[in-house]
Every structure is written in structure tokens, then in C-alpha cells.
Amino acid sequence: MSDEGFLYLPDGALEALGIAPGEVADAIEKALIQKSEGALHTTPKSALLPGDARYMMSTLAVGNAEDLTVLKQVSVCPENPGRGLPAINGAIMALDAQTGLLRAILGANWITGARTAALSAVAARRLANPASKSVAFVGAGVQASTHLAAFMELFPLEEVRVYGRGAANADRLCAEAKAKGLAARRAATPQEALEGVDLVVTSVTLDYAIAPFLDAGWLKPGAFAAITDLGIPWHQESLKAFGQAVIDEREQEAASERKMIPPEIVGADLTELVSGAKPLRYDPARPSCFAFRGIALGDYAATALVLERAQAAGAGQRVTA
């Protein structure tokens, strides 16, 4: 820590900045170009599953353009709601990339939700039908809410379907959608949720003990699925129904023992997609998907953006020795 100390930005302060989902997506696309040009360096995401359906992960990225090092640690603890706590908690350290001095400590919850939906938006901008009017959510937690906001910016949505194990969360998401002027209902079965919709978001608990219950063969031609949950709820063989499949990062996926989707169907990762190395586009004849674990680049891009906005707005608390 320098004599000037560091900036402390809890989640409430980050949310109060009013950054739109599309702005986070734009920041991620900028970072993907930087990575393709060698100006941004990342390591594969590190993750542990220590039991009780808990999921601990960390990401690390260094950017030359912003002279910034970003390290994030997040824990997903499914028992937390029963304790009166959010299921996801963590923190982000931002340091000067030239000196290693601490520049800021940030809450990780808002950034994790915002960057995850923004990663989906980056892929959906290219692979989904621009006229998409309906979306199905399998899983109705924080990620469903952030994706709803992001997809409402991108598409002329009219209808929301929700399928989830928790009635309270499903009802909450339906109420949230109705408050935004959308028609919303709970689906009785997974097949009812997926059949005929333009967009799908799956975000179930990250627990490999869950038996697969989704079939990509239910999707109509041209549908787009954002798979945020490591592919856990999907029957793996059915995923070959996707005509186009994108993952977040090839290096990270190669280093992962258990693959999210069959490797042979992967057509590009995000860097290849955005840089134009693999310019996939919306195909009305076949469904497409984006499967992702979350990448250090997303956390880096969102952190750099909020630091810029927070400093301009004088937000946060300066902590000195």
C-alpha cells in the first residue's frame, strides 16, 4: 500500500454507479481485443469443490494498457440463504501492474453478476437472433436476474419462462420480469421451458451430483443458449444438436479435467469470436450455444471499468495506514 492508501468499493457502491450491462459487455470486448494483441495476460480460472455443493474460485489478469493487476476470489455457498446471507460472496484486489502496490479493494458480488451476464451478451450479440422475443431461465438466482437485464437491453423481449427447483426464486424472477413489462410464467417441466423460445439461460447450482435433465434437441432452429453452469444440467450427448458452440477460453477449457460440452462441437472461444479469427454469426437454421466457466478477462474488464467510473464520481472510501 502506498502513502495514498487504497480505495474501498463495496458492492453497494459499485451498484450505485449505474453502469449498464451493455457497457460491461463493451469493456469485455475491448479487453478481448487487447488480449488478442498481447496487451492483456490471464491465467486459467482456479476452482475447488470442497463439498456441500460449495464452489471456490479465483481469477488473475494483468493488463498493460491500464497498468492494472486484478485478482478475484469468490465462494458459492448454497447454504448461505438459510443463514440470511447471499449465496455468492468474495472480494477483488486491484493493484498497480508496474509496482505491485494496492490500488483498490472491491466487493466481488456485483462484478461477478454483471460480468457473467455481459459475457453472455458478447456471444449473444453475434449468435442470437436480433429479433428474439422470448427467453427461458433454468435456475432463478442472481445470474437469471442479471441476464434478464442484459438481454432486455439487447433484444425486444416480450415473454419470460422460468423453471427452477425453488418456488420462491422462480416466483421472484417472474415478478421481476412482470415489473419490467414482460409476460412471465413458471414452466411445469424443463421441456415446456425450452421448446419454442428464442433464448435460454441455464444457471443451476454448480454440483456435479445433479442428474442431467435438459435436452438440446428441444430447442428450435436459431435458438441461443447461454450455459453458465458448466453444462451440468444438460445431457451431454444432446449438446451435439448445437450447430455452433462457443466457449469462453480454449486454454482454460483444455486445463479443466471435466469439459463443459463435447470438445468436437466447439467452433471458437470469445477471443477468436470478437477478434474476427473465427467470425461465427447467427444461423437461423441451427441452435447455437455459449458455454463458459467465467474468465479472468471478464473480471479484469469489469474492474477496470468500475474503477474508472468510481474515481470520476468520487465514489468509495479512501483507506490509509
Q: What is the pLDDT of residues 292-315, one digit of tens each?
A: 999 999 999 999 999 999 999 999
pTM above 0.85, yes or no: yes
Q: Which domains does the chain show, CATH number per domain?
A: 6-111+297-319 (3.30.1780.10), 119-294 (3.40.50.720)
Q: What is the reported pLDDT for 33?
A: 97
Q: For a pLDDT cut of 70, what percent of the chain falls above it?
A: 99
At 209, the pLDDT band (50, 70, 90 cuts) reads: confident
Decide if pLDDT at 264 tops 70.
yes
Q: What does pLDDT average to over the chain?
A: 95
The three-state DSSP-derived secondary structure of the chain is CCCCCEEEECHHHHHCCCCCHHHHHHHHHHHHHHHHCCCEEECCCEEEEEECCEEEEEEEEEECCCCEEEEEEEEECCCHHHHCCCCEEEEEEEEECCCCCEEEEEECHHHHHHHHHHHHHHHHHHHCCCCCCEEEEECCCHHHHHHHHHHHHHCCCCEEEEECCCHHHHHHHHHHHHHCCCEEEECCCHHHHHCCCCEEEECCCCCCCCCCCECHHHCCCCCEEEECCCCCCECHHHHHHCCEEEECCHHHHHHCCCCCCCHHHEEEEHHHHHHCCCCCCCCCCCCEEEECCCCHHHHHHHHHHHHHHHHHHCCCEEECC
Decide if pLDDT at 220 tops 90.
yes
Of the two residues 87 and 184, the one the predictor is more confident about is 184
Q: What is the reported pLDDT for 208?
A: 83
Q: What is the reported pLDDT for 1?
A: 55
User: For the ranges 55-64, 74-83, 135-144, 275-284, which has the lowest average pLDDT?
Assistant: 74-83
Q: What is the pLDDT of residues 143-170, one digit of tens each?
A: 999 999 999 999 999 999 999 888 899 9
Decide if pLDDT at 47 tops 90.
no
Q: What is the reported pLDDT for 259?
A: 95
Of the two residues 80 and 119, the one the predictor is more confident about is 119
Q: Report the pLDDT averaged over residues 6-30.
A: 97
